Structure 1
Amino acid sequence: MSLARTLNRALTVTTGLQVRRAPRAAQGRTSAAPKAAARPAATYRCPSAEDLATDRLLRQPVFIISSIRSGSTLLRMMLGAHPRLHTLHELHLGRMDVICDNWHSEHAMGALGHARGDLEHLLWDRVMHRELVKSGKDFIVEKTPANAYMYRRLKDCWPDARFVFLLRHPESIARSWHESDPVKRPYDKAVTDVLRYMTAVEEARTADPDGFTVRYEDVTADPGREMRRLCAFLGVDYTPAMLNYGRKSGRELIRGLGDWRDHIRTGTVQPGRALPEEDEIPERLRAMCAAWGYTSDTASDATS
């Protein structure tokens, strides 16, 4: 009689229990790791005007707030051709974390008045300021579309930040997002995806009466006029180089594929696609079209 059987007989008599071998996991399969608990929202303080001198190196950063597929790459490249504006690739600041991994470091930072969010803000500020200094220019421009979801935090981090709200016809955004990968993103899913971005953009635009709104269709129709308006908002002189920003690298060509690939390939602004007809706009996008002024009248004006 095996040891296990003898042990089970004795356990059954004395306790009514038995020992069973744990089932083996299927060969080649690993058990799924438990999902990490969502981190609580970072707490931070908003620097006052007096604190800015010590808390921030960067002054008056510019953030382009837009949905995906709105032409932010084109606008970034045009602004980057200005001698005083340094534009970066998308930084995704909201995905950069600072972690105090024990009580001692957390307590030490707390004694300095820094919560986790404060440390993250110092990191963001240092990273962007470093790139600005390397460029030799005066102001930095950042255009990650996900910034639409963190407008309030960017404003709290840099109270003197300037915000440019880039709009595009909602159906054109959805169509462009769908066409970039039709298999992965059927049109209905593309509408759902971009509507989240557009809602965040509109909430930020409503919250910031001092921001500057520009439309992709206006940039492609009359780039000189729109760049003059934008330069006036940013307090810099207009330069014609913004309209002829030059040929970019192969990587830029790949990153810019989509409706504005001709802009990037030629280094000059090209006409945008025609706006959709009224009956091409899905019901879910009609409210956003109205909020952004894309009515049938404005559509006919933009394409004339």
Structure 2
Amino acid sequence: MHTDRPVFVVGCPRSGTTMLQLMLHSHPRIAVPPETRFLVPAYFSRRAYGDMRLADNRRKLATWIAEGRTTKFHELGLSRPDFVQAAMLGPGSFGSVIGMVFKSYAERFGKPRWGDKRPSYYRHVEMLMRMFPDAQFVHLVRDGRDCVASLKQMPWYKADAVHAMANWAEAIDFGRRHARKLPADSFYELRYEDLTADPETELKKLCVFIGEDYDPGMCEPRHMAELAVPKHKVWHSNTHEEVTTAHSGKWASRLEPWEISLCEEVLGERLTAYGYELSGARKADREHVAAFKAAAAKRRAARLRKYNRDRLTRLREPGPIAALLTEGQRRLAGLPQQRSAELIPR
């Protein structure tokens, strides 16, 4: 029996999450759009839109999603008026309005199931579970040294290599926490290196997790890159090529000796736990280790401030949060099964 549970792809930036997005999008039943950038800011601003049981409030939120300058809605190929109308006619919960975007995107491709990809979602799994309580998460892990080396080359990454190391460590630590806390059918981890070395085997295992039949087209994600990767994202040019292992291990020539030393000292336990061999680099300088600890502490403090603000918001949030779009979501809310044409007006 097929499922309609949402699938979220998470991981440290430059871990191969866009490749995995395209692999999932190549499945005949699943649609995963390019990064949309509206879900997290909408959630943290939810009080401003009021109770989603009121159609006018759903219209306000949907209009911001469709017309906001930072939401990337225009990259989805959807009709703004049709989406706003669908949100107004849909279920009265915050998650339903958000989920309606992805449901509409999936329907554009004639697919019954949707996913979403954004690396930083690893920090927001609890938030996503509030909106989509039947969600499944796929955490893609890549050698931290390669992530750091790749982040250094990105035009949009303004921080330094030390902060990139702290970013990878944070992603790994969150992944371990989610693996402990979430049910086995809700959280799944795989390594980028395994996925690129033997995509068929790894994708078959992933399909078992998400409850779908494997499709050979998933091994050829480049065919979907033209449709699902915005042309301005030139840093995703590799997605237009065949899946390859050629991008693994480049850290050895791209990182400075002191960066390799620092990576292996402060990330060593995490690297070896995921099967990555250390090079035996010399011990890192104390000032570099101190800089890493400061960067990691800064990230923790920022997360804690945001978490505490949201705990207060939860005491005063104006209406239902959980989506009511999938069979699992409706079952958890005690609602009857829906008819296939119930949500989107024809």
Residue in 2 that maps onto 1:287: 269
Determine which structure has greater relative contact order: mean sequence separation of CA pairs < 8 Å that are 6+ residues apart, divided by chain length. Answer: 2
Matches of 1:171 and 1:283, distance apart in 2: 12
Give the alignment of 1:95-106 within 5 angstroms: 95-96=41-42, 97-100=45-48
Structure 2 counterpart of 1:88, from 25, 30, 33: 33
Q: TM-score, normalised by structure 2?
A: 0.57
Partner secondary structure for residue 10 of structure 2? strand
Matches within 5 A, 1:68-147: 68-92=13-37, 93-96=39-42, 97-100=45-48, 119-147=93-121
Does structure 2 conserve the Cα–Cα contact (< 8 Å) formed by 1:98 and 1:119? no
Q: CA 1:240–1:133 in structure 2 vs 1: closer, same or farther (change >3 Å)?
A: same
| Residues 250-285 of structure 1 deviation map (CA, whole Å, 9 limit, x = unaligned) | 964542626xx33x232x212243435785733221
The aligned length equals: 226
Within 1, Cα distance between the matches of 2:35 and 2:5? 18
Inter-partner Cα distance in structure 2 for 1:159 and 1:99? 20
8 Å contact 2:129–2:135 — kept in the other structure?
yes
Which of 176, 180, 198 is the equivalent residue of 1:222? 198
Query: Which of 1 and 2 has greater Rg?
Result: 1
CA deviations 1:9-63 (Å, max 9, x no partner) are xxxxxxxxxxxxxxxxxxxxxxxxxxxxxxxxxxxxxxxxxxxxxxxxx940001
The CA deviation at 1:88 is 1.0
Tell me the distance in 1 between the aligned counterparts of 2:247 and 2:52.
56
2:11, 2:139 within 8 Å by CA — same for their partners in 1?
Answer: yes
One-letter amino acid of the counterpart of residue 123, structure 1: V
Q: Which amino acid aligns with 2:31?
A: H
Distance in 1 (alpha carbons) for counterparts of 2:173 and 2:234: 24
Which consecutive residues of structure 1, in runs of 5 or more, have no partner in the other structure? 1-57, 110-115, 298-304
User: How many angstroms apart in 1 are the aligned matches of 2:121 and 2:101?
Assistant: 16
* Correspondence for 1:257: 235
Q: Percent identity?
A: 24
Alpha-carbon distance in 2 for matches of 1:129, 1:107: 18
Q: Distance in 1 between matches of 2:111 and 2:95?
A: 22
Distance change (3 Å), C-alpha of 1:64 and 1:183: closer
Task: Say if 2:34 and 2:230, in contact at 8 Å, map to a contact too.
Answer: no
Offset at residue 75 of structure 1 (A): 0.6
SS in 2 for 1:257: helix
Matches of 1:162 and 1:120 in 2, distance apart? 19
Structure 1 stretch displaced more, 160-169 or 128-137: 128-137
1:172 aligns to what?
Answer: 146
TM-fit CA distance, 1:229:
1.2
Runs of 4 or more above 4 Å deviation: 105-109, 276-280
- Local SS of the residue matching 2:146: helix
* RMSD of aligned Cα (Å): 3.2
Structure 2 residue corresponding to 1:248, chosen from 212, 225, 233? 225
Render the CA deviation track for 1:169-200: whole Å, top value 9, x for unaligned: 11211111112249944322322343333333
SS at the partner of 2:106? helix
How much does 1:137 deviate?
Answer: 0.8
CA distance 1:107–1:134, change in 2 (3 Å): closer
Q: 1:106 to 1:73 in 2, by over 3 A?
A: closer
User: What corresponds to 1:199 in structure 2?
Assistant: 173
Q: Cα 1:134–1:196, aligned 2, differ >3 Å: closer, same or farther?
A: same
Compute the displacement of 1:226 (Å): 1.0
The question of whether the paired residues in 2 share the 8 Å contact of 1:82 and 1:242 is answered with yes
* 1:282 aligned counterpart, secondary structure: helix
- Normalised TM-score (structure 1): 0.64
